[in-house]
Amino acid sequence: MATLRLGDTAPDFEQDSDIGPIKFYDYLGDSWGVLFSHPADFTPVCTTELGYTAKLADEFAKRNVKVIAVSVDDAQSHKDWIKDINDTQSTTVNFPILADSDRKVSDLYDMIHPNASNTATVRSVFVIDPKKKVRLTLTYPASTGRNFNEILRVIDSLQLTDSHSVATPVNWEDGDDCIIVPSIKDEAELKAKFPKGYTVVRPYLRTTPQPNK
């Protein structure tokens, strides 16, 4: 399959997992989703990633996000690995890990990059909105652990910019000033949409306090 691009519909699938078969769209329901892949079970970097993701359960929940992982090993291997993750990372894995032994999900989401490895998935991340559209893709090399704080930051930005006429600037964090989208030019509309006021740095660069704070 061709590489998924931003705005594409995320493919649906049914696949086994450590908690039994999962239908992806049914699992997500009307939530946002984070689908992320792992080269294999019992790998050191992934162990830290899955443990940290479990610790972020409350952060994902308050953003209406469901998390689901993918690894090419079977469900029993996942169950055994989860025991290690819980023990070494002092947490409890609270999301499913797909058992993608037939590479169905890996192929659907183009998670195997032959020049990196013919068998193991790369560290891919997909953020999917409630309409099942792909809103973010990230791909890391197998040797580099992902930054899940950054993934939360991007979800905050996506949810904010979906509901308000703003964009988020470099290194933006929740609570920081935002940028008014250039398409709004009418002064009355600006005052109505941004009652906290705004600063004109340049005609194309106008900042305003975060609207939903």
Interacting residues of 52 by C-beta distance below 8 A, sequence separation 6+:
89, 148
Q: Supply the pLDDT for residue 93.
A: 97
Helix (H/G/I), strand (E/B), else coil: 137:
strand
SS3 at position 118: coil
Q: Please list the pLDDT of the chain residue by residue as tens digits (213 residues).
A: 568 899 999 999 999 999 999 999 999 999 999 999 988 889 899 999 999 999 999 999 999 999 999 998 999 999 999 999 999 999 999 999 999 988 899 889 988 754 444 445 567 899 999 999 999 999 888 788 999 999 999 999 999 999 999 999 999 999 999 999 999 998 999 999 999 999 999 999 999 999 998
Q: How far is CA 162 from the centre of its chain?
A: 16
pTM (two decimals) = 0.92
How far the first Cα of the chain sits from its last, in Å, is 41
User: Residue 127 burial (CB < 10 Å; 0-12/13-18/19+)?
Assistant: buried
- 18 vs 54, 65, 90, 123, CA distance in Å? 15, 20, 19, 20
Residues acting as catalytic residues = 46
Domains in the chain, CATH or no CATH each: 14-150 (3.40.30.10), 164-208 (3.30.1020.10)
